[in-house]
Amino acid sequence: MKGARINMSGVDESMLRRSVPVIGEAAGFVYPLTGEGIRPSVASAYALFTGIIRGHDPAGEARGVIRWIAVQHRILEKVKSASPESRARIITSLPTDAFTSLGLGELSVSTLLRLLPKLPRGIASILKAAL
């Protein structure tokens, strides 16, 4: 059995603006660090609905989710290019609740910035570059 590929390269905002809008995982609403697509997909559907009702740009309505997906994508790219040892240090140095919140797209940028001074320099630089 062969499944469809999941777009993990980020949100294509133009998909929300098409005459027949595309939402959800097909438009890139997937958290890159976890592969989760249900919550961001629901957020894209809600943004489209809200945008239509209010007469606003649907991508503007989904700005928070789109931004967080982009941050996670940049983190993932930096981590993928790091050595296995650096990856292990990242996983072991982040507090468990921060690591979980980061993966779920619930960690605020301000909280992440407060964590940076407490992390090893290399890990902090990876996270800082992603912001």
pLDDT of 131 higher than 70: no
Q: What is the pTM of this model?
A: 0.78
Question: What digits encode the pLDDT tens for the residues 80-103?
Answer: 888 898 888 877 877 787 778 877
Question: What digits encode the pLDDT tens for the residues 4-33?
Answer: 677 778 999 999 999 999 999 999 999 998
Position 4 scores a pLDDT of 62
Q: Of 45, 53, 54, 55, which Cα lies nearest the Cα of 16?
A: 45
Q: Of 50, 45, 48, which Cα lies nearest the Cα of 25?
A: 45
Question: What digits encode the pLDDT tens for the residues 100-122?
Answer: 887 777 877 787 778 777 777 76
Q: Under the phi-then-psi rule, with left for phi > 0, alpha for psi from -120 to 50, and beta for the rest, what region is 86? A: alpha
Position 39 scores a pLDDT of 93
Number of Cα atoms under 13 Å in the Cβ half of residue 83: 4
